[in-house]
A = this chain, B = another copy of it.
Amino acid sequence: MKTRKAEAARRLQEVEDRFVDLWDTMSSLWGISPTMARIHGVLYITGAALSMDDIMARLAISRGNVSMNLSKLVEWGLVRRVHKRGDRRDYYESLSDVWEMFTLVASQRKRREIDPILSTLRRCRDELSADGLGDEKAEPSTQQRIRRVNDLLEFLTLMENLAHRFFEGDHGLKTAVGLLAEKS
């Protein structure tokens, strides 16, 4: 009986390890660092509040590393600090709702990475237009550049609208996307 339980635990751990590796793999997709992802992976899959030492042991990484990455995770809002009565250590637990995690990460990346891109792109367009129009009906090559920048802007603006529904419209997206996906 004991051996069967031990065996089960071992296999559970194996699956967990694979899951954490998966999280690691996904990290580049989500734009967070691999170790940060691994830590979050452990917290998500176990569904428990773990201490720094738990995580250090589980992933075999240093204290400093865990500390840094945990604080980043808390900053992102993916992980919460929790306390246990009579224990001075901090414990950490992950959000459980996948949609919430997704929108959190995506909206922050949008703000940090996409919004600045859009504004420089708009500046490009404006300067090109100004130059182009000022200069004897614009050289054909300038016209072409203006067209290309506009195409790109049009595309990104569309994407932005879509993103807006995702991140701002309190889960209106969830249904919208669900409908869209099911209709196929």
Contacts and interface: CB of A to CB of B under 8 A. Distances in A.
Task: Count copies of this chain in the complex.
Answer: 2
Interface residues of A, number: 60
Nearest to A47: B144
Contact of A15 (B124, B141, B181): B124
A124 B184 contact: no
Contacts of A31: 28-29
A171 interface: no
Interface in A1-52: 4, 8, 11-12, 15-16, 18-19, 22, 25-26, 28-29, 31, 44-47
Interface of A is mostly: helix
Interface stretch (A61-69, A73-81, A82-90, A161-169): A161-169
A162 to B, nearest CB: 5
Contacts of A139: 8
**Closest CB pairs A-B (n = 4):** A161-B181, A98-B155, A47-B144, A162-B181
